Structures are given as structure tokens and as C-alpha cells.
Structure 1
């Protein structure tokens, strides 16, 4: 049984907050709940529901029982892009081997940090599609990428270039033709918690936890034209289980694995 979701406004809603609330209700086909000076926790408990708050500057998503909201932020992409623009090496891009004009499918978009780097690498002529299984998370990220206010370049262009699709990975892959994306990328939720990744916790609560499966990997191999890339914790058994060639990184708690076509 799916959890009910409602949309409300900030504590003191203005015209913009009401407009954003209406937009969320229409896009997600969920009901509006007036704030009436109640806390988000109170609304969630009374309605037994997830709550999306349409604030003045952003949407915040509180899955039922969560104390910390999930909201869009470019996260680590900002400083990673600056390093890449300076010509420094980026492990993710080294593993994906993306070039201008390539197409890239991110099966586990999350906050979209990796997809933003991919958008930078493939350029204006390339294509980046990001999948997010949870409709509420997909809504927050899609709208955030379209509207996040930053003057930083190339970050803004990269965010705007990503196509956010609400779909589970396997379902989406099954509808794609053979060799339809140059690179298919998978970053399932880490089996081990990385303590330093505090900004990951809100996403961990909000997102869906879908385990990598034989069907998922087989479909990814079919759809990828050049390479399939997996990101996982260094202790993960997924690399060996699905025959990814692991790229060891002694200074990092996560590694990349690749399958070349």
C-alpha cells in the first residue's frame, strides 16, 4: 500500500507559496492541506501522510516519520565541476569515459550530482536522462534543477540539461531499444552507511531502496552501447556478483566497477 502524500504551504503562506502548492498538487495529483499554523509533523500524523511543503524559495519533502526534509541542492556537484573545469581528474568521469555528444542514462538519479558532471562532459549536443523511482523525490529534483538560483557556471547549464524521468530503472530500461544510451550508470543505495555523507541521509529516508538485480544488470547491458558503470561501497559484493571490473580507489570508501560492451 502506497503512502498518501499531501501538499501544504509554509507557516505564513504568501501568493507565491500558494501558487507553488497548486503546481505540486497538479503535477503529483495529490490533495492540498491548509497549514492552519500546524507543524508538518502534526499534519503528517493526523493524515497519516507524507508532506510536501511549498515554501517561498523551494519545495521540502517530509516522508512520514522523517525529521529532516529532503530538498534539492546541487550538493557536491558545484565544487566537483569547478575541479573538472580546471582540468583536474574526476573518478566518476574517468570511469564513464564520456565524450561530447554521448548519451548517458543515470538509473539512480538521487540529488543528481553525478548526472550534472555527465551533462558537462557530453555538452550541448549530448543527452543526459536521470531516473528516480519515487514520484515525490522526482518532483522535488526536477523542479529544483529547473529553478535553483545560482549564477555559477557551468553548474546552471548542467542542471537545466538533465531530463528527470519518474520511473523505476528496470521498467524504463525494458522500453528502450538495444544500444540506445552510450553509458548506463547505476548507484544503488549503499549497503554501508558512510558517516561523512550527512547530506545523503535525507535522501536515504525519502528515496526508494531498490536492490540491484540480475534483470536490472542484463537490461542495462542490452541498452548500453559502450559501457555500464556501477558505483558501490568498497565492501560491496555487487562487483563480484554481477561481474563488474572494479576500479580500486584506496583513498575512497566507494568504488566504481565497469562492464565494457
Structure 2
């Protein structure tokens, strides 16, 4: 269970904002009353808190570093695109001709940021996140983050984030709603040292790709792209028609297309 609160130095505006978020996410609002977040979590037996601050929403746990929206590794990837180097994910989705993309696992928003920035011709770009707090923070970033380069800010604003289970979303949409569907599930062997995910360990919703999900995705789109380790059981059990990735990288983007 999670709770909603404010920073210790707050005012009536942020308290009302926290109460609104509480209603939106259906999570209890708990007044801060000068207590530490750790004390609030212990008292209310919660695993984490979404804290409303003047810098934006922050996810806080007892053991992790607070998480607020940031571009993370996407920043370096955007710089490489500006230098004329096409990102491997962009190659996998067919960046030159794609007009609509569904990112089923938005997470911190890095991949969707790269897709939107590298494919400015997109007419529909939807990102799905199953964890309500992570989804709220990522969507806040898409809506409010200001980059020094206006075209990066514009790329973020083009992304429409939906908080739900992506399998439920796939069930509801009609065939050919998107040109490409992208999925980045939790790796079979997680990269535990990855700093941007440290505060989310044990909180991120895990999803395993099955043949049924692959079939469903290819009913709804022309192409499915899955990010995994090159030697993963997934790629061995469901071989993609092509894999895109760095020569010396253990990570690849597997491409599947409707027959």
C-alpha cells in the first residue's frame, strides 16, 4: 500500500494538490505534520509515498533515493540523435515511416522520449504504465518538464500516457490502431546496479511476454518490438525475424511482424 503526502515545508495549495492526487490514484492522503516520510510509512504500514513538492511529485521509500522525473539515460541518447547517430530502438521501430506507436511499458519515460524525439512525424504516441505512482510521475514529467531545447520539451508533450495494464489496453483497441507496439519487460536477469531503478526495486510491476501476448500485439499492429537480452529464453522460445542492437551490447530489440 502507498500513501500521498506533501513536503515538510508546504502550503494550502500543495495540500489541496495532494488531496486531489489522493482521489485520482485512490490512495490515502496523510498530513505531513512535520514528520519524516519514513515515520509516516512506518506508522501507516506503507511501502512508499508519493510526496507533492514545489519541484513536482516524488516517490519516496524507506530504503531508496527519492525519484522525480528526469530524462536519465535518454539525455545522452538524444544528444547522439542530434549528432546524426540513429538510436537502435528507432531503427527497430522503423523510424522513417512509422506514424503511430504504443509503448506498453513506459516506466521512467526514457524510451518514449527517444521515440517521440526521433519520430516527430508521429500522429499518435501512447505510453502505458501499470504502476499508478510511477505512471503519475512520468506523466507529470511529460506534461511539465522544461528542457533547454524546446524541441525536446515538444517531444515530451506529444506523448499521451495512460495508467493501466497494457494487456487490458491491447484487448480493448481495434486491429491496426498502431503501426508499432513496443514492450520492454523486466529482464530475466535484472541489472540491479542500474541507479535509475534502485528506488523502484520491488515496486515495479513485472510482466512476462508469452506467445499469446505476441499474437495479441500482432493483431493490433503491423510490428512488435521487444527489448531483451540477446540470449534470453524469450528470444529462444519466440525467435524474432530480426534483432537490432549494438555489436558489443548484450541487449537487443527483437522485431516481430504479422505474417
TM-score, normalised with respect to structure 2: 0.90
The change in CA–CA distance for 1:124 and 1:22 in structure 2 (over 3 A counts) is farther
- Residue 226 of structure 2: which of 230, 243, 246 is its match? 230
After TM superposition, give the deviation of residue 259 of structure 1 in Å.
Answer: 0.9
Instruction: List runs of 5+ in structure 2 lacking aligned partners.
Output: none
Identify the match of residue 52 of structure 1 among 33, 50, 53. Answer: 50
CA distance in 1, matches of 2:245, 2:76: 23
Aligned mates of 1:174, 1:30 — CA distance in 2: 27
Which residue is equivalent to 2:64? 67
The 5-angstrom pairing of residues 86-105 of structure 1 reads 86-99=83-96, 102-105=99-102
Paired residues of 2:192 and 2:198 also in contact (CA < 8 A): no
Aligned residue for 2:109?
Answer: 112
What is the CA–CA distance in structure 1 between the aligned matches of 2:192 and 2:163, rounded to whole Å? 28
Cα distance, 1:213–1:101 mapped onto 2, change above 3 Å: closer
**Contact 2:101 2:178 (8 Å CA) reproduced:** yes
> How far 1:197 moved relative to its partner?
2.3
Are residue 241 (structure 1) and residue 237 (structure 2) matched? yes
For structure 1, the 5+ residue unaligned runs are: none
CA distance in 2, matches of 1:58, 1:147: 9
Once the two structures are superposed, residues 12-36 of structure 1 have per-residue CA deviations (whole angstroms, 9 ceiling, x without a partner) of 2134532432332232133321112
Deviation at 1:195, TM superposition (A): 5.3
Q: 2-side partners of 1:69 and 1:234: how far apart?
A: 32
Q: 1:260 corresponds to which residue?
A: 257
1:170 and 1:154 map into 2 onto residues whose CA distance is: 32
SS of 1:141's equivalent?
helix
Q: After the TM superposition, which of the residue ranges 87-96 and 21-30 deviates more from structure 2?
A: 21-30
Q: What is the DSSP-based 3-state SS (H/G/I as helix, E as strand, rest coil) of the residue aligned with 1:206?
A: coil
Alignment match, 1:10: 7
The within-5 A match list for 1:180-199 is 180-194=177-191, 197-199=194-196
Matched, 1:146 2:143: yes
**The residue matched to 2:254 in structure 1 has which SS?**
strand
What's the CA shift for 1:188?
A: 0.2
2:212 is the alignment partner of 1:215: yes
Counterpart in 1 of 2:133? Answer: 136
Cα-Cα RMSD? 2.0
